[in-house]
Structure 1
């Protein structure tokens, strides 16, 4: 218990410090998020990745945390590879196809096929890619990706602890703390952002950790628990995919069509959007953890799925595209606030 608290506190403070120290180098290197009204340095991603890896790795070496098993070590290495891939995407604007293939290869290397079986393992690889890109899509509103990631990491950590997977539980608690330290700089108005480096690696580690926690259990219930743990991410990706297909827009093409964009259209402030979606993520995580622990029946998962579908259906009616002429006539401030480099 004490080592978990010490590791989490160290990760929080180290992330907050690194995010601040790396801001100036990120600006000099023009590593900036231009999707907001102002350019924000992408120093949060490297800070979260470095702090999480350093605390978990060093903690296992000096005995602060339990010795890391092969699964945790492999996940740290694969998560680092995804972080490098995301950083390359931030710097060179890599195509989504390249990012997806790289993420799938990393996921295929760490999914526990021995417990899941080959078929379910391949499904898990696809789900990991889905969640990874879902977290990447959340990092366009101040405080959103950090809030959702923090509560998701906490929920996955509880599931891992219930399965007596101490290494994964510590990793998730450290990641949750690191994202909390990042939020100290990312809450509106944000001074740093995650970028692909931080958002993709966080989503990847969370998704694979959740797969490990549910490995060897019923496929149907496991799919429901995993969906509940990542309800906001799944709803956001589903909404974007359906909206773009229905409006004849290429799926890889970015646009102001995510959950947060639509809530902003309805008049919510940026902090209110982050708080509302963070609360939604917390609700889904709570249900997922309770079902995993056997405290409530699996039928509760249908409520999460139903609410998510209702939200997607309701927000899909919020107009976000509009005619080209009207988009061109928007004021510079509105255009800047809705501009998305990759949605």
Structure 2
């Protein structure tokens, strides 16, 4: 308990400090990211989160303070490989096949060496890990959104791991949540640095893999209900992006201001308010998942969450995000402010 708390505090402080160092180094070198948002904010913050998380967790066994247990080693190694993949994608353009291929290989390592699943469920677990990893990566489109959602999810999964007597995995998830909290010091609006692919893919992969590892002993219905509740927000964002781009005839790989955070902001929320709302929604899903996981609620208890998520997706699809209508929607609050301002 004490060693875990020490590791979490160390991760928080290390990540907060390292994020500031990385930001200063990137700005000093004149390296900027691609796209309008990255042009004003360094996009290599994932280095701080990955180093802070893996360094704090790895220090436990080295110093004799905490043992990671079976299965955590392969997860750490695979997550490190995904972090390097993301860092490479931040620095050079990588094709979708390369990114998906590396993620699939890393997920296969985790499932084969850490989960104990048979080939059939194992293949589904690999697909799930790749899907959720990229869904989390997509969410990194607004200041504080990804970090808030991921930190809440990590804490919920840590509680599940503790209940399942997986102390090594619980330690890893707790440290990840602390690292993300330290990063939010710099990523809260107005963000001074963002996660980039290195941080979002690393975080998403750890969380996606952890959802599989804490549900290997659960029945299909209970596992499916809990998995959905834990990832409802990121899955809703992925569905919004895919459906809206398909309806608009836009390439699925093309970036755009069409994520759940953008739609909430165009509905009247501030950037900070958007992160808070997404965090609250994630907390509601996480609590539901915890109750289902420990048997306090039956799997059908997730149905209201499923219905609420579906209603939210349908409602948010009506928010204009492309073309002139979206531009008018975005400019309307500014025009109203000018009309109400004193001469």
Q: TM-score, length-normalised on structure 1?
A: 0.91
Deviation string for 1:180-214 (max 9, x for gaps)?
Answer: 00001111111111000011000100110110000
Closer, same or farther in 2 for the Cα pair 1:234/1:35, shift >3 Å?
Answer: farther
Q: Which residue of 2 aligns with 1:15?
A: 15
C-alpha distance in structure 2 between counterparts of 1:101 and 1:29, whole Å:
31
C-alpha distance in structure 2 between counterparts of 1:92 and 1:103, whole Å:
17
Q: Which residue of 2 aligns with 1:217?
A: 218
- Within a 5 Å distance, the mapping from 1:182-201 to structure 2 comes to 182-201=183-202
C-alpha distance in structure 1 between counterparts of 2:327 and 2:193, whole Å:
28
Shift of 1:29: 5.5
Unmatched runs of 5 consecutive residues or more in structure 2: 335-343
User: Cα RMSD over matched residues?
Assistant: 2.1
Q: How many residues get paired?
A: 329
CA contact (8 A) 1:115 1:216 kept: no
Q: Which residue of 2 aligns with 1:163?
A: 164
The structure that has the greater radius of gyration is 2
CA contact (8 A) 1:124 1:211 kept: yes
- Within a 5 Å distance, the mapping from 1:266-281 to structure 2 comes to 266-281=267-282
Shift of 1:51: 0.8
Unmatched runs of 5 consecutive residues or more in structure 1: 335-343
Q: Is 1:290 equivalent to 2:291 in the alignment?
A: yes
Q: TM-score, length-normalised on structure 2?
A: 0.91
Q: Which residue of 1 aligns with 2:339?
A: none
Q: Is 1:109 equivalent to 2:100 in the alignment?
A: no
CA contact (8 A) 1:56 1:171 kept: yes
Secondary structure in 1 matching 2:37: coil
Closer, same or farther in 2 for the Cα pair 1:29/1:162, shift >3 Å?
Answer: farther
CA contact (8 A) 2:44 2:87 kept: no
- Within a 5 Å distance, the mapping from 1:301-312 to structure 2 comes to 301-312=302-313
Shift of 1:70: 3.9
Q: Which residue of 2 aligns with 1:238?
A: 239
C-alpha distance in structure 1 between counterparts of 2:142 and 2:34, whole Å:
11
CA contact (8 A) 1:86 1:198 kept: yes
Q: Is 1:203 equivalent to 2:209 in the alignment?
A: no
C-alpha distance in structure 2 between counterparts of 1:21 and 1:323, whole Å:
41
C-alpha distance in structure 1 between counterparts of 2:267 and 2:24, whole Å:
35
Closer, same or farther in 2 for the Cα pair 1:71/1:187, shift >3 Å?
Answer: same
Q: Which residue of 1 aligns with 2:137?
A: 136
